[in-house]
Chain A
Amino acid sequence: MVEVTITVNGTSYTRKIHPLMRLLDFLRDELKLKGTKEGCGEGECGACTVIMDGRTINSCLVLAASCDGKEIITIEGVGGAELHPIQRAFLEVGAVQCGYCIPGMVLSTKALLDKNLDATEEEIKEAISGNLCRCTGYQKIVEGVKLAQTKMKESRGEACECGRS
């Protein structure tokens, strides 16, 4: 057993774990954060996507032991008391059908928009290319990301602050 300290959604957790426990199992079984889904378990589908130190990763392909000292954001940490603009946008355009891929989609979207709020459609598609969805055909998800861009710009008041229209 090894001891790790991992910050998840702003809270620091110290646990003694098996050295080969995956980050996915750490989140779901140790911390009971069930929002992160396991799809394929081998890095093909992106359902288990979380953000580690600002970058998306597949939590099924990372050992929890190697996340010692890292900061993780899961779907539970995206919104606060209210839904995040990305989540609201997805709901409004109907980007969600069965929903299994959506936590990963939202985190890939967040990782993109946190760095580049003006991402083009091409950049959006690239950013979510590691997240498979078998229901929507992606069109509504891309529309959801675009609406999220608008909402996030409005809520940050960027339109007036930066001097652009």
Chain B
Amino acid sequence: MFDIKQVYEPMCLKSALEIYQNNPHLTIIAGGTDVLINLRHGKYEEVELLSLQKIKGLDEIKILEDGTIEIGALTTFTKIFRNDIINKHVPILAEAAVSMGGPQIRNIATIGGNICNGAVSADSAPALFTLNALLYLETANASRTIPITEFYAGPGRVKLQPGEILTKILITKDNYENFKGKYFKFSNRKAMDIAMIGVAVLLNTTDNKVNDLRIALGVSAPTPIRCQEAEKTSLGLELTEENMKRISELTILDAKPRDSWRGSKAYREHLIKVLTYRALRELRGNK
């Protein structure tokens, strides 16, 4: 059995934040699909858990008055990919959510946990990076909002301050309206596998000319990243075959994939280019 002193199970966010403030050494558990594995593997020598599972109201998806989409941090992946608001306004996030694990995992794993775990391969990350998602972080007596693009610090590390809990993910209207998106998860198996590469592309065009193009990659650097060179160059370009190829080639300037048993650096670089091109072609439609 695990070496455990205590599990706190507060019924509301306020008491969770207070407990965490007074005990910043606690390990937060939401869905538990990562924490329980770490426990099993003896990653923690001695652990006290702060469970968010009994807190109500943090698993809702709604549209605020100004059009911002608000996703509670405890929303499960199943709920996200079946949700009407998500499918209507940010279907790229539904694509990402349904690619994660298998049904049993998606039924309990939460989007907040996926983000805060800081995995390079987090399936929600590339889509949220293209959407310029904002993370709402709370402590017992303060709150702040940070773009997800600035939240990752390294493999498995995120910029959470002591006592801070991620409670909401926000996507403002100007970041989804008039955009079309595509997420490709490339893995050896279709289900129950970790991405070899994740590519998210979000596109806003007028008359086939790029107003705004965002490309985000998972498993391509120590953190999820945006392909800034490719994005900058694409502005104003017409999406011809030639230009789409050129944009796809430029993704490599920001990507730093590694060799691993899951896939080689060279193969990953190839995938990044091919999948970016494929996404662009699909989003452009028949021209």
Q: Which residues of A contact B (CB under 8 A)?
A: 2, 18-22, 41-46, 49, 55-58, 60-63, 65-66, 108, 111, 126-127, 129-132
Contact = CB atoms under 8 A, between A and B. Distances in A.
Given A56-B103, A56-B104, A62 B4 contact: no
9 tightest Cβ-Cβ pairs between the two chains A and B: A130-B102, A129-B191, A19-B7, A55-B107, A130-B104, A42-B37, A58-B104, A20-B2, A130-B103
Given A42-B37, A57-B108, A65-B9, A18 B4 contact: yes
B36 interface: yes
A105 to B, nearest CB: 12
B237 interface: no
15 contacts: A19-B4, A20-B1, A20-B39, A22-B36, A43-B105, A60-B36, A61-B104, A61-B105, A61-B108, A63-B7, A65-B7, A66-B54, A111-B103, A126-B191, A130-B102
B192 A129 contact: yes
Counting contact residues on chain B (CB < 8 A from A), the size range is 20 to 34
Interface in B90-107: 101-105, 107
B33 interface: yes
B32 A55 contact: no
B247 to A, nearest CB: 33
B172 interface: no
B88 interface: no
A41 B192 CA distance: 14
A126 B103 contact: yes
Contacts of A132: 192
B110 interface: no
A61 B192 CA distance: 15
- Which of B2, B4, B53, B102 is the most central at the interface, judged by chain A CB atoms within 10 Å of its CB? B102
B191 A62 contact: no
